[in-house]
Amino acid sequence: MEGITTLLQPRPLPDFVETPFVKDTVERALTYIMAGFSIHSRGASGTGKTTLAMHVASKLGRPVAMIHGSEQVSSSDLVGGENGYRATKVIDNFIHSVLKTEENVRRQWMDNRLTVACRYGFTFIYDEFTRSRPEINNVLLSVLQEKMLDLPHEGNGDSYLRVHPEFTAIFTSNPEEYAGVYRSQDALRDRMVTMDLDYFDKETEVEITVAKSGIQRSDAETIVRIVRDLRDSGLCEFAPTVRGCIMTARAMKVHGLSIASSDGRFNQFCLDILCSESSRGATGLGKHASGRHWARSSTAIVPLTAASQMRRRHCLVEITDCPGCDTDHVRRSTT
Ligand SMILES: Nc1ncnc2c1ncn2[C@@H]1O[C@H](COP(=O)(O)OP(=O)(O)O)[C@@H](O)[C@H]1O
Ligand SMILES: [Mg+2]
């Protein structure tokens, strides 16, 4: 293999949670791959897209070439380019008083991740591929359809690489409304099976929170309930995800706290973590003159109640004397 391309050796993820919800998604993904298709998991942040891609790759057992989409990704990051130099040096000092050196430097083609995966039949994970400029991703059209990779710069002229039969591509993407995300080309989407991932069910969120933090199950259940209530309230600019559950739980774990013994800190962790997760910030979190904390979403200003109230009401949202609130809206969210 020319040049150096970093590959990942997939291993089963040690704390991977496999509830019936997750199993169903994994099985569907593997079915489409076995049928010869590339898969694309699309969903909001925190719906487990990257983890699913890594898990499915570990089931396939082939080395993984992974790339993260971004505005900066170029064709050479995918396919390769004439980046390297091959240097040869001849030193002729046969006659010790005469030193003759000859140096010859040639530019050399180096495969990059997509080419390596196509050439050797590895798994190619393109995480958040719609963050890359659409024209950069055009090279994938013929890879997915004709199973040919166009290598315009290899050797002295145009050439094509026949894609190895064991090559598999796994894509992930966020919804188009997210900042920095391009609309994916219809032609490309048409060549892959897109699985729309929803937020995990409650059982899975609890299992993941416990697995990733080590807190007590009853506390994980409370955190998950708060996050799901906040998500369902429709008050958040961005719905909080299982990431918020994990972060809150880990913060509790650092102090060895249970919710009952947290002495107000649980409430503060929720404010810090869940409010920052659910809005773009700036006005996302405020403190009222009364000393209460308020989470501001795009549609309302929501006071965050004490942990005990959260548990009793099974809801994070309570309206008292906050100016600017839409009462109907909030009443609906507290039922
Ligand atoms: N099946 C799973 N088992 C354990 N942890 C998971 C599982 N799915 C997702 N997670 C965890 O949930 C969080 C969000 O998952 P991630 O794959 O990063 O989501 P996305 O890529 O959709 O933003 C991560 O911390 C990840 O480790
Ligand atoms: Mg991801």
Model confidence over 91-107: pLDDT tens digits? 555 555 555 666 667 77
Number of the ligand closest to the Cα of 128: 2
Do 277 and 183 share a structural domain?
Answer: no
Our mutation pick for probing the ligand 1 site, out of 18, 51, 125, counting the most ligand atoms within 8 A of Cβ, is: 51
Q: What Rg, from alpha-carbon coordinates, does the chain have?
A: 26
pLDDT tens digits along 306-316: 333 333 333 33
**% of residues, the chain, pLDDT over 90:** 48
In the chain, which ranges are E strands?
Answer: 38-42, 64-68, 80-92, 100-111, 123-127, 148-151, 159-162, 168-173, 192-196, 285-287, 293-296, 301-303
Higher pLDDT, 24 or 323: 24
Gap from CA of 44 to ligand 2 centroid (Å): 9
Do 216 and 146 share a structural domain?
Answer: no
Do 255 and 313 share a structural domain?
Answer: yes
User: The domain containing residue 142 runs over which residues?
Assistant: 20-80+108-196
**% of residues, the chain, pLDDT over 70:** 72
Do 132 and 183 share a structural domain?
Answer: yes
pLDDT tens digits along 209-237: 999 999 999 999 999 998 888 888 776 77
**C-alpha 6: how far from chain center:** 19
Per-residue model confidence (pLDDT) at position 259:
84
Q: Is residue 13 part of a domain?
A: no
Q: Is residue 188 part of a domain?
A: yes
Per-residue model confidence (pLDDT) at position 287:
44
Our mutation pick for probing the ligand 1 site, out of 40, 52, 208, counting the most ligand atoms within 8 A of Cβ, is: 208
* Beta strands at 293-296 and 301-303: parallel, antiparallel or unpaired: antiparallel
Name the token pair of 41.
């998991």
Number of domains in the chain: 2
Gap from CA of 242 to ligand 1 centroid (Å): 8
pLDDT higher than threshold 70 for residue 178: yes
Burial of 16 (0-12, 13-18, 19+ CB in 10 A): middle
Q: What is the DSSP string of 279-326?
A: S-SSSSEEE-TTS-EEEE-SS-EEEBPPHHHHHHHT-SB--SS-TT--
Burial of 226 (0-12, 13-18, 19+ CB in 10 A): buried
Using 50, 70 and 90 to split pLDDT, how confident is the model at 87?
low
CATH number assigned to the domain comprising residue 42: 3.40.50.300
Q: Which residue has the tokens 């694309």?
A: 40
| Boundary-marking domain end, from 196, 225, 260 | 196
pLDDT higher than threshold 90 for residue 169: yes
List Cβ neighbours of 61 (8 Å cut-off, separation of 6 or more).
Answer: 10
pLDDT tens digits along 105-164: 777 788 899 999 999 999 999 999 999 999 999 999 999 999 999 987 655 556 889 999
| Boundary-marking domain end, from 153, 170, 196 | 196
Gap from CA of 173 to ligand 2 centroid (Å): 8
Q: Which of 37, 18, 2 has the alpha carbon at shortest distance from 119?
A: 2
Ligand 1 site, residue 238, Cβ cutoff 6 A: no
pLDDT higher than threshold 70 for residue 84: no
Per-residue model confidence (pLDDT) at position 157:
58
Do 206 and 187 share a structural domain?
Answer: no
Do 253 and 224 share a structural domain?
Answer: yes
Do 181 and 50 share a structural domain?
Answer: yes
Burial of 198 (0-12, 13-18, 19+ CB in 10 A): exposed
Q: 3-state DSSP: the chain helix, strand, coil percent, rounded to 5?
A: 40, 20, 40
The whole-angstrom separation of Cα 287 and Cα 58 is 47
Helix (H) or strand (E) holding 249: helix 242-254
Q: Is residue 206 part of a domain?
A: yes
Chain-wide mean pLDDT for the chain? 79
The whole-angstrom separation of Cα 277 and Cα 238 is 7
Using 50, 70 and 90 to split pLDDT, how confident is the model at 330?
very low
| Average confidence (pLDDT) over 182-209 | 93
Q: Is residue 10 part of a domain?
A: no
| Boundary-marking domain end, from 139, 163, 196 | 196
Q: Which of 170, 71, 80 has the alpha carbon at shortest distance from 130?
A: 71
Gap from CA of 264 to ligand 1 centroid (Å): 28
Length of the chain: 335
Do 275 and 142 share a structural domain?
Answer: no
Question: Do 249 and 215 meet the contact criterion of CB atoms below 8 Å apart?
Answer: yes
* Rounded alpha-carbon distances, angstroms, from residue 194 to 33, 138, 144, 186, 320: 12, 18, 14, 12, 44
Question: Do 324 and 288 meet the contact criterion of CB atoms below 8 Å apart?
Answer: no
pLDDT tens digits along 236-278: 777 889 999 999 999 999 988 888 887 778 888 887 888 777 6
List Cβ neighbours of 212 (8 Å cut-off, separation of 6 or more).
Answer: 15, 246, 249, 250
Do 275 and 145 share a structural domain?
Answer: no
Atom of ligand 1 nearest to the CA of 53: 17
Q: Is residue 36 part of a domain?
A: yes
